Amino acid sequence: MGRAAAVTGAATATARAKTSGQPENLPSQTVSHTEHVQEAAPAFIGWLQPLVIWQPNSWHQPIGRPCYVPRGLPSGTVPHSTQSRGDSALDRRLLLAVLPTPLEPADRLGSALGMEPGALWVKRDDVTGLGGGGNKVRKLEYLCADALARGADVLVTGGGPQSNHVRITAAAANRLGLDCAVVLAGPRPAVATGNVLLVEVLGSEVTWLGGEGSLDHYAIEAAIHEVADRLGAAGRRPYRIPVGGASAVGELGYIRAAAELREQAAVLFGDVDLVVVADGSGGTHAGLAAGLGDLSLVLGVDVGARPDLDTQVPAKAAEAAALAGLPAPAGEVRVDHGHIGPGYGAPTEDCRQAVLLAARSEGLVLDPVYTGKALAGLVAALRDGSVGPSTRTVFMHTGGMPALFAGPYAAWGRDG
């Protein structure tokens, strides 16, 4: 925590933190390091960052991922920021993720699930890069832009003991030269494994909440506030990020992802009938539904992180859509609560089978907390007929692999 302690303006920051818990908004120009990025982009791109140029007969293989190096930076330098030229909240982001992520066919997995060839696709948001990658990088592009615009010097967030969101937030802070303080549920483990090991390697200040480690969403949120207040009182400028990065600002990342997905799908196979995603905080689901404009196009599979997804997802989707200047999405929210098992992160047999199936049919490594349960949800939906064999389905691989290396799953690859 020493690095940013030297930052001046402590008295003002303390006053601000006491009233709002967030640093006050600063002029947006403070975000920009790389205005030239936008200038370098060809005009035909429109509002979306350039995607991928697809070779007609090689539909899984992107050719020529566009890469814009801002003027004035050495070749190969990765810009941290683009600054909006327009007024859209969708433009106020930092460049932290490797985008676009691939949209890959998964016919072997689809065939094992009884789907027709060409029906199942995987959106590889596990390979977004920063800190090992995963869905949170897209959210952090917006959240960190907001944090810098508000003059923050320390990111504060929290999650379950094996939180991917916490890992990636810690990495984003380091990438941007900020400090990071995190709250993790449960007692400090004697041996650091999976994401805990990575968070410790990344060097964040960790507050362990104690207790038996079950995920109490609201207790973690309260602890995030407490840590931010403590830092604010000590003269720091904390920026609070809710569990899962699930604010309207963070969800902009998945509104943008929905547009990216639609563009890729249009070239590869046409309209997306269904997106299947793991629901932790519900923010990814909400952003996708807002971006696609229809709640019924997204099936969220509840992993047991919060009790109120059925109301939170549509509310968050409407809020994020409004922030992006879009209408609230139509349709009914779809959340499958049938695959949580004994609780958040608890091993379940249908999750294990889903993890093994994806790994052994496609070489696709899912995780035991989120994406394994999401695939178990898709398996069940195909079985009960609520998803048909020809439904053009995109399975969101949201990352999370480090959790596989944490205790309870060590024997998952054994005995079939």
Could you list the residues that contact ligand PLP (CB under 6 A)? 134-135, 164-165, 244, 246, 278-285, 367, 370-371, 398-400
Closest CA to 303 of 140, 124, 162: 162
Comparing CB distances to ligand PLP, the nearer of 81 and 135 is 135
Residue in 314, 280, 331, 279 with CA at minimum distance from that of residue 300: 279
Residue 32 falls in the annotated catalytic set:
no
Q: Cβ(23)–Cβ(149) under 8 Å?
A: no
| Cβ proximity of 128 and 101 under 8 Å | yes
Pick between residue 83 and residue 371 the one whose CB is nearest to ligand PLP: 371
Residue with CB nearest ligand PLP? 400
Pick between residue 83 and residue 281 the one whose CB is nearest to ligand PLP. 281
Amino acid at 387: V
Residue of 81, 163, 204, 247 marked catalytic = 163
Residue 141, burial from CB neighbour count under 10 angstroms (0-12, 13-18, 19+): buried
| Residue 238 or 282 having the CB closest to ligand PLP | 282
Pick between residue 80 and residue 138 the one whose CB is nearest to ligand PLP. 138
Tokens of 255: 């509104």
Name the residue among 400, 410, 411, 409 with its Cα closest to residue 160. 400
| Residue nearer to ligand PLP on the CB measure, 13 or 403 | 403
Cβ neighbours of residue 384 closer than 8 Å, sequence gap 6 or more: none
Closest approach, Cβ 309 to ligand PLP, in A, equals 8
> Residue 22 has which token pair?
């967030």
Q: Do residues 288 and 275 touch, judged by C-beta distance below 8 A?
A: yes
CB 238 within 8 Å of CB 17: yes
The 3-class secondary structure across 54-102, one letter per residue, is EECCEEEEEECCCCCCCCCCCCCCCCCCCCCCCCCHHHCCCCCECCCCC
The b-or-e profile of 349-362 (16+ CB within 10 A means b, else e) is: ebbbbbbebbbebb
Judged by CB, which is closer to ligand PLP: 259, or 366?
366
Alpha carbon distance 395, 374 (integer Å): 8
Coil, strand, or helix at residue 325? coil
Q: Give the active site residues.
A: 163
